[in-house]
């Protein structure tokens, strides 16, 4: 870390961080020097973007290829009624700019694919997956495993959500799991309906996205216990949190003992997101 250089305005803005022993001025500077890529500026991405920006993440990337629709506004809280029809990356960037001038926002109005994932992710300290489809989740997992980039995973369905963190830090006494260790392949298309079909509680992604942002901030600070090796499940109707321990699968096709996936080009990220037979 470079020499401490928080100015008077920053000491005021982040004073509630600076006075904490676990963060202090050194920790706040780590956040200001940190970089996070948020994939998806919708339900999960909105609260994550808000709190990462407020925390002073110095470089915040936002990737999304969608435009704001009025039906988004019940849960996608970085967008407003006047943003309907605008690219989500633009309205999200405007929100961040109004909230915290310390944050440099980089936007890409595109869908992340096997062809562009390396370019989009390169140079970021952490990736926060706020996507809403299995293809993107598996693509980000596989790329981040191969690139050894930490990945925050979150997902929601009706009244339920799940969160975990994959540090992808291998070579220790016990390797951590990846997304494929828990979910080897995606369900068949059409077997899991989306929120447009089944609905979603508007405040649910706020809870899950905030937990993802918390995990990212902790990782950048090097503080606390991450959800690595644990899948946190939240039930909003029962107001319960349950944690399930998960371990690396030695037969995992991307991080196992004899991996089949050496490149994201090996995988068809549609359907069941399975390894190519070629």
Catalytic residues, which ones?
195
Separation between Cα atoms, residue 257 and residue 246, nearest integer Å? 17
Q: Are 50 and 43 in contact (CB under 8 A)?
A: no
CA–CA gap between residue 24 and residue 132 (Å, rounded): 35
Terminal CA-to-CA distance of the chain, rounded, Å? 45
Copy the structure tokens of residue 32: 């200001």
CB 209 within 8 A of CB 43: yes
In 27-159 the beta strands, taken as DSSP E runs, fall at: 35-39, 59-63, 104-108, 126-129, 151-157
Q: φ and ψ at 71, to 5 degrees? A: -70, -15
Q: Which of 183, 168, 170, 189 is nearest to 244 (CA)?
A: 183
In whole angstroms, what is the distance from residue 262 CA to residue 275 CA?
A: 10
Using CA of residue 245, residue 241, residue 199, residue 48, what is the dihedral sign?
negative
């Amino acid at each position: 870390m470079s020499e401490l250089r928080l100015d008077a305005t920053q000491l005021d803005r982040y004073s509630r961080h600076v006075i904490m022993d676990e963060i202090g001025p050194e920790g706040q500077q780590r956040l200001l020097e940190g970089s996070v890529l948020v994939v998806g500026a919708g339900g999960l991405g909105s609260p994550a973007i808000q709190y990462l920006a407020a925390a002073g993440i110095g470089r915040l990337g936002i990737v999304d290829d969608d435009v704001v629709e009025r039906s988004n506004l019940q849960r996608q809280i970085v967008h407003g009624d006047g943003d309907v029809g605008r690219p989500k990356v633009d309205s999200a960037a405007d929100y961040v700019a109004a909230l915290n001038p310390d944050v440099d926002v980089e936007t890409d109005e595109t869908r992340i694919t096997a062809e562009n994932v390396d370019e989009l992710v390169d140079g970021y300290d952490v990736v926060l997956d706020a996507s809403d489809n299995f293809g993107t989740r598996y693509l980000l997992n596989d790329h981040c495993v191969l690139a050894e980039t930490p990945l925050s995973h979150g997902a929601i369905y009706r009244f339920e959500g799940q969160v975990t963190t994959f540090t992808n830090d291998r070579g220790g006494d016990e390797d951590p799991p990846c997304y494929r260790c828990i979910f080897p392949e995606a369900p068949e298309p059409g077997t899991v309906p989306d929120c447009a079909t089944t609905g979603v509680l508007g405040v649910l992604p706020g809870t899950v996205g905030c937990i993802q942002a918390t995990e990212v901030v902790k990782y950048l600070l090097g503080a606390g216990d991450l959800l690595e090796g644990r899948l946190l499940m939240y039930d909003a109707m029962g107001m319960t949190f349950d944690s399930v321990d998960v371990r690396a699968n030695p037969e995992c096709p991307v991080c196992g003992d004899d991996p089949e996936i050496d490149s994201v080009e090996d995988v068809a990220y549609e359907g069941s997101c399975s390894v190519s037979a070629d």
